[in-house]
Amino acid sequence: MATRISSDPLVQPDHEQRMLLGDTPISLAALGPGHSLIAPPLPDEVIISVVGRFHILSCNRTPTATFQELFHCAPFNLSAWIPPHLEMLAPRIGEDVEACTLEILRAHTLYPLLAIFNGLSFPEDSRRATPNKATSAPKRLSAEPIRLCLECLREDLATCGVRYIHRSHQIPGVEVCSRHASPLLYKCPHCECSFGRRSNLALTPWRRCTCKKYVFDSILPHHEVDPVALSYARFSATLLQSSPHSAVPTRVLVESYRDRARAIGCSWGNEKVSRVRIKSEMEKFYGKDFLRRTDVAYRDDRLSEWLKMLNDYSVTEPPLGRHLLFAHFLFRDAAQFLAAVGGTGGNEQSGSIEQPVVKRLAIAVGTRKASKPSIPQRIAGLLRELAVHARDIPDCSIEDLWKSHYGLMKRLVSLDLEAITLLRRKLQQVKHEPADPAKVPRRSEKDGERARSVMSTAAALYASAAKPEKVTINRLAKEAGWNASALNPHAFPATLRALEEYAESNWHFYARRVLWAKLMHKRAAISVIRARSGVEYHRCLVLMDFFQDVDLSISYGAETITRLLAERGIQRDWPGPCPEREFPPAGRRYYTKSPIYIAESD
C-alpha cells in the first residue's frame, strides 16, 4: 500500500527533504530497509517521538490509523517507560526480530536504566521474540508526562534539521535539561495543556498546541536552577547513555549500595547499613520538597519499606526513580557508579549528552572501595567479638553463645568449623566480669507515679459499664501511654509489680463477660448468652451454672460486675470454678471427646 510522505520541514531533516521533494505519494518500502520506519535515527530520541514523526510523514489522518499501520492494534500508551508491542516495529528495521527489538529498546526507551536497577533482561532465545513476548517488562512500569526543553528543540532544528522529544528528559524525577540547565516543560506555557495524552501521540514539537500556538516559539522567564536537580539530571542522563548492555546482577547492585553507604559513613555496629541515617542524609541533600515531587511513596508518607533496594530479595522492587535518587545520593558521579556495578561505561550510540567516556573500574581518587577482609581476618574478628560477649555470661560455654548470639556463631561456623576449637580455648581464658554497680540503672523518680497510673487505669477498666475487654499487662501500659516492654526492672520495679498484680486471668475475664451478657440480656437463652459473651461453649455452660443464683432484677451499673465478683470471693487471678477439668481447645483443632479404653486380654 502506497503511503503519502510529507515534506514538512518541521519533521524531516534537510537531506531527507532533498530526497523527498514535493508532496508526492511514495511507498515507504521503496526507501529501503533503513527508511521503512523513519530515518535517520536521531540521538536520544524517545519512541513516542519516532512514532510521532512517522505519523506526520505518512500523512495519516488520525493517530488511530498510525497505530493500526505500525502495531496492528488500537492506540495505547506510548509514553510508558517501555511501551508494549515494540516487537511489531522490528520487521521494519531488519530481518532479525530479536536484534532489532533489542536495538529499539536500547536506543529509544528507558530499558538501559531498567536493566541496571530493576533486573530487566531481553530474551536471548530468538524463538521467544514473538508478539507480546519480546519485551518482557518488569512490574511497576509507569508512564511519565512528556517533558520538553525549549533550548533542545531550537538546537535540534539547527543541528539535525528536525525537532524531536528527548529520551533523557523522560527519566523519572528529571526536572531540568542536563545540557542547557533549563527547566523542562510538561504543559503548554500559553494554555497549560499537557503535551501528552494517554493512548495518543505527542505532536507538540511539530504542530500547534490546542491554543493554536507553537510551543517552541515561547520565551520563558529566567529561573534559578537547583544545583541538586541539575546534578541528578546529568547523573541519570549519563547512566542512560553509558549503561552496560546486559542486566546488572542484583547481588552486585546491593553490594555496591552497601559498600558505598558504609564508605560515606551511613553505618552502625558491625558495619551494618543505617537506613535511618541514609533517609536523614537524603532529606538534607535533596530537600523534602524535591523528594515529594519525585517519589510518590515519600509524598504519601509510606516509608516503612522505602529503602528496600538494600535487601537482596527485594532490590528490584522499588521504582526506577527511587533507585536513581538513591544511586545519585551515594555516588554523585555516574562513572563511579558504573565502575562499582561493573559497567563498561561505553555506548555504541553517540548520544546528544556530551559526557566523558566512562571506563571500567574508573573510580575517582580518594573514593576507592576498600578490599574486603580475608577469611582469617573475619574469623579473628568474630572470635574477638564473641570473647567480649562471653565476659558478660557467668561460666560461659559454647552452648550459651549459641543461645545468646546465634548470628555470630552461625557466621563463625560457616567460615570455618575448626574455629569452634579456637573459641573454646578463648572461653577458658575469659574471666566473668560482674556488672558494674554504676552501670545498673537506679530506680526512676517516675516509678511511683507510673504505678499509681496503672492502678487508676485498672480501676477504670474494671468499673466500666461497657462490654468487658480483657485487662492485660500490655493493655494497661497502652492505656497509660507507654510501652511495657521498654520498662527496666531496676528503674521501674513498682510499676512492673502493679502491671502484674492488676492484670486478670482468663477465667476472671470469662466471668466478667458472662455476667455482663446475663445482666444485659435478662431471661435470654443460653445460646444468646454464649453468643453475646463470646466465651467458648463448654466454658460458658460451666459459668452459667456457677452464676445461676445471680439476681437478674438488679440494675446494671458501672461497678455491678466488680461487686458481684467480690461477693463470691473471685480475685483477678481466679483459676475458674473447676481448675482440674480440661476443656477442649479453642478453634477447630482435633481433640478426643471421650477416653479410649483398651480391653485387657485374658
d(CA 140, CA 319): 7
The CA–CA distances, whole Å, from 595 to 400, 580, 587, 599 equal: 43, 16, 21, 13
E runs forming strands in 534-583: none
For 97-140, the DSSP string reads HHHHHHHHHHHHSSHHHHHHHS-----S-GGG-STTTS----S-
Return the higher-pLDDT residue of 67 and 132.
Answer: 67
The CA–CA distances, whole Å, from 342 to 339, 515, 556 equal: 5, 72, 76
Nearest to 137 by CA among 172, 85, 79, 98: 85
β-pair partners for 273: 267
Nearest to 187 by CA among 204, 171, 200: 204
Is pLDDT above 90 for 177?
yes
Highest mean pLDDT: which range of 134-148, 149-163, 381-395 = 149-163
d(CA 103, CA 89): 11
DSSP designation for 185: B
Average pLDDT value for residue range 387-404: 83
**pLDDT tier for residue 330 given thresholds of 50, 70 and 90:** very high
**pLDDT tier for residue 26 given thresholds of 50, 70 and 90:** very low
pLDDT on residue 149? 92
Average pLDDT value for residue range 473-498: 82
pLDDT on residue 441? 62
pLDDT on residue 423? 87
d(CA 316, CA 104): 23
Cell representation of residue 252: 552486585
DSSP designation for 73: S
Is pLDDT above 60 for 327?
yes
Is pLDDT above 70 for 11?
no
481 Ramachandran zone, left/alpha/beta (phi>0; psi -120 to 50): left
d(CA 361, CA 337): 9
**pLDDT tier for residue 93 given thresholds of 50, 70 and 90:** confident
pLDDT on residue 49? 92
Question: 538: Cβ–Cβ under 8 A, 6 or more apart, which residues?
Answer: 583, 584
Is pLDDT above 50 for 186?
yes
d(CA 469, CA 510): 10
**Does residue 149 contact residue 216 with C-beta atoms inside 8 Å?**
no
**pLDDT tier for residue 136 given thresholds of 50, 70 and 90:** very low
Average pLDDT value for residue range 159-184: 92
Tell how far CA 113 is from the center of its chain: 17
Cell representation of residue 583: 476443656
Buried b (16+ CB within 10 A) or exposed e, 324-359: bbbbbbbbbbbbbbbbbbbbebebeeebbbebeebe
Is pLDDT above 50 for 104?
yes
Cβ neighbour number for residue 283 with a 10 Å cutoff? 13
Percent of the chain beyond pLDDT 70? 79
Is pLDDT above 90 for 586?
no
pLDDT on residue 242? 83
Question: 97: Cβ–Cβ under 8 A, 6 or more apart, which residues?
Answer: 87, 90, 91, 126, 129, 134
Q: Does an H or E element contain 4, and which?
A: strand 3-4
Range with the lowest mean pLDDT among 181-190, 203-212, 337-346, 558-567? 337-346
In the three-class reduction of DSSP (H, G, I as helix; E, B as strand; rest coil), residue 402 is classed as helix
**pLDDT tier for residue 191 given thresholds of 50, 70 and 90:** confident
Average pLDDT value for residue range 282-303: 91
Nearest to 145 by CA among 293, 316, 353, 322: 293
Domain boundaries, the chain: 247-341, 375-436, 447-502, 506-567
Nearest to 188 by CA among 144, 165, 168, 218: 218
Q: What is the pLDDT of residues 528-547, one digit of tens each?
A: 888 988 998 888 999 989 98
d(CA 95, CA 49): 23
pLDDT on residue 554? 85
**pLDDT tier for residue 137 given thresholds of 50, 70 and 90:** very low
Mean predicted lDDT score pLDDT of the chain: 79
For 274-301, the DSSP string reads -HHHHHHHHHHHH-HHHHHHH-HHHHTT
d(CA 330, CA 279): 12
Q: SS3 for 49-67, per residue?
A: HHHHHHHHHHCCCCHHHHH
